[in-house]
Amino acid sequence: MKKAVIAIAALAALSGCTTIGPVAGLESGSLARYDCEGQGFSARIAEDFTSVRLRTHEGSVNLNRGEDDAFAGDGWKLTTRGGMQLAHKDKIVARNCKKQS
């Protein structure tokens, strides 16, 4: 049984399969507001956890999930691992973001 589990995991890794699941701090279906050093923002993750709708004082944008639970699109990047931060055109505009209660 243990060998079968290892074999399935190895096949999934070789075929490029990744697990799409929840992201720390983001809940599907609900708009969450974040206070940060820099600018604050709101975010709503899709039910399938593959994209985030981001709202900043500059407007709204859809970000697609990439590697390491980061979301990117239109020059924006929302990083969720190791503390939430937001960058625009490779410049960090919000860091140490905390979800409002």
pLDDT in tens, 66-99: 988 899 999 999 998 888 999 999 999 999 999 9
Judge residue 17's burial from the number of C-beta atoms within 10 Å of its C-beta, 0-12 exposed, 13-18 middle, 19 or more buried: exposed
pLDDT at residue 56 in the model = 94
Judge residue 34's burial from the number of C-beta atoms within 10 Å of its C-beta, 0-12 exposed, 13-18 middle, 19 or more buried: buried
The C-alpha atoms of residue 23 and residue 46 are separated, in whole angstroms, by 11
pLDDT in tens, 19-41: 567 777 788 888 999 999 989 99
pLDDT at residue 63 in the model = 98
pTM above 0.85, yes or no: no
Q: How many domains does the chain divide into?
A: 1
pLDDT at residue 19 in the model = 53
In a domain, 10, yes or no: no
Range of the domain at 74: 20-99
What lies within 8 Å, CB to CB, of 31 at 6+ separation is: 42, 43, 44, 55
CATH number of the structural domain spanning residue 69 = 2.40.128.200
In a domain, 41, yes or no: yes
